[in-house]
Amino acid sequence: MKLWDKGTEVNKQIEQFTVGKDRELDMFLAEYDIIGSIAHCIMLESIGLLTNKELADIKKELQNIYQLNKNGKLSIDEGIEDIHSQIELLLTQKLGDAGKKIHNGRSRNDQVLLDLKLFVRSEIKEIVESMQQLFNSFITQSEKYKNILMPGYTHLQVAMPSSFGLWFGAYAESLTDDLQLLLSAYKIANQNPLGSAAGYGSSFPLDRQLTTDLLGFDRMNYNVVYAQMGRGKLERVVAFALSSIAATISKFSMDVNLFMSQNMGFISLPDELTTGSSIMPHKKNPDVFELLRAKCNKIQALPNEIMLITNNLPLGYFRDLQIIKENFIPVFNEMKENMEILNFMLSKIKVKENIVENKKYEYLFSVEEVNKRVVAGMPFRDAYKKVGLDIEKGEFNPKKTVNHTHEGSIGNLCNDKITDKMSSIIKEFNFEYIENAVNELLKC
């Protein structure tokens, strides 16, 4: 069954090539296609294109299909093109002509775009929950090790004193900016395209505000042409936000790989969380963090991939957009798996104390010595020169202590402020409003 079938049989090779992985990937969208169809049918009844009885019958059957999908028993039959066709077929088999009416006033174009937006909203909610857990783990480690100093580096050269509190806390705050970017992507996703049809609207008197409210959208994509232009753009924007989270995780993973090396030896992992070598019996490799680095770098390539698929497409729908699904839909699970394993590994990291007592880190404290002289009244350039000369002569013997008190420094991490920032951004998603709207649609 094809929604566009006019009696001509399509060449099997052509059909296989054009359908591609759609049937497999469409199962990720099944739940959202059903929810969107319920809202659409309520709207059709409100404008007289369905009777009250037809709506009641269709809604009841869509809820049955929804439960079938929840139980893992919904599938796309052989010969059925996609999930949209499958659901319409099931309705028609059960309800006859009433089942055929659900496509009034919409195209598969706005139907798929709606499904994608509902899917993205749901997946972003789970991503935010994972981010919050990861954030809390970074903050916990930051507080636990806030008084343990470590070397800070610039140009991979020993620079100034840092602390494990600063190190872990930096990645916590990085996640707040990643979350802010994800919120922006979410706001773009949370606009209703339904009613744009094939991209040029419909002669039916559709009530687009009604479906917007029923589905819990912030607002609609008003211009019907732009609504369809949003396909591809939606995926690219969301992928860019996910790539920002991936960049934070990748950078932290690189730090861990460096800090675990024998040349640094700042941190360690329990033996059972490392792997070995087939030839070198002493090896304890941080494979999890190496794989995290690679997996997250792969995710960072996704926005560019989507851009290359879409950047020379003119106005209107093109089948090229289907290819985006193949890497876009799975990326959410990949991202969640990465955050889950990192969250587990974070709690197992063991920090080495007294690192800065090693003589090779003496120069870490050169700026501290300069600043002490400045506080005592010496001009900065004179103090800088004096300490530099002491270093050259081998007469530099610093006290290996620091007294940083300003906001965000070693002695004042501001983790409470960073936590407040995270919480305030999460509130802006307003997930509860959407959950209530969807639950209302699924009521019997």
Tell me the per-residue pLDDT of 371-418, one tens digit each, with 9 for 90 and over.
999 999 999 999 999 999 988 998 888 888 888 999 999 999 999 999
Question: What is the pLDDT, as a whole number, of residue 4?
Answer: 45
CA 178 to chain centre: 9
Handedness of CA 260, 262, 265, 268 (dihedral sign): positive
Question: What is the pLDDT, as a whole number, of residue 12?
Answer: 72
Q: d(Cα 117, Cα 217) in Å, to the nearest integer?
A: 10
Lowest mean pLDDT among 126-130, 132-136, 226-230: 226-230
Q: DSSP letters of 75-94? A: -PPTT--SHHHHHHHHHHHH
- Residue of 286 and 306 predicted with greater confidence: 306
Question: What is the pLDDT, as a whole number, of residue 132?
Answer: 98
CA distances from 293 to 174, 248, 386 (A): 16, 10, 43
Identify the bridge partners of residue 149 per DSSP, sorted by sequence position. Answer: 163
Lowest mean pLDDT among 163-167, 277-281, 306-310: 277-281
Tell me the per-residue pLDDT of 65-108, one tens digit each, with 9 for 90 and over.
999 999 999 999 988 888 999 999 999 999 999 999 999 999 99
Handedness of CA 48, 54, 59, 61 (dihedral sign): negative
Tell me the per-residue pLDDT of 415-427, one tens digit each, with 9 for 90 and over.
999 999 999 999 9
Mean pLDDT of 317-337: 93
Domains in the chain with CATH codes? 12-103 (1.10.275.10), 117-149+162-196+232-357+414-431 (1.20.200.10), 358-413 (no CATH)
Tell me the per-residue pLDDT of 180-220, one tens digit each, with 9 for 90 and over.
999 999 999 999 999 999 999 999 999 999 999 999 999 99
Q: Are 124 and 185 in contact (CB under 8 A)?
A: yes
Q: d(Cα 343, Cα 24) in Å, to the nearest integer?
A: 30
Question: What is the pLDDT, as a whole number, of residue 161?
Answer: 92
Q: d(Cα 198, Cα 307) in Å, to the nearest integer?
A: 22
Number of helices (H) and strands (E), helices first, in the chain? Answer: 17, 6
Model confidence at 6: pLDDT above 60: no
Is the pTM above the cut of 0.95?
no
Within 10 angstroms of residue 136's Cβ, the number of other Cβ atoms is 15
For residue 27 the two structure tokens come to 């199962």
Question: What is the pLDDT, as a whole number, of residue 70?
Answer: 94
Within 10 angstroms of residue 219's Cβ, the number of other Cβ atoms is 11
Question: What is the pLDDT, as a whole number, of residue 24?
Answer: 82
pLDDT-derived band at 164, boundaries 50, 70, 90: very high
Question: What is the pLDDT, as a whole number, of residue 19?
Answer: 66
Q: d(Cα 105, Cα 203) in Å, to the nearest integer?
A: 8
Model confidence at 22: pLDDT above 80: no
Tell me the per-residue pLDDT of 332-366, one tens digit each, with 9 for 90 and over.
999 999 999 999 999 999 999 999 999 889 899 89
Amino acid identity for residue 264 in this structure: M
Averaged pLDDT score across all residues of the chain: 92
Q: d(Cα 288, Cα 318) in Å, to the nearest integer?
A: 40
Tell me the per-residue pLDDT of 109-124, one tens digit each, with 9 for 90 and over.
999 999 999 999 999 9
For residue 326 the two structure tokens come to 């193949």
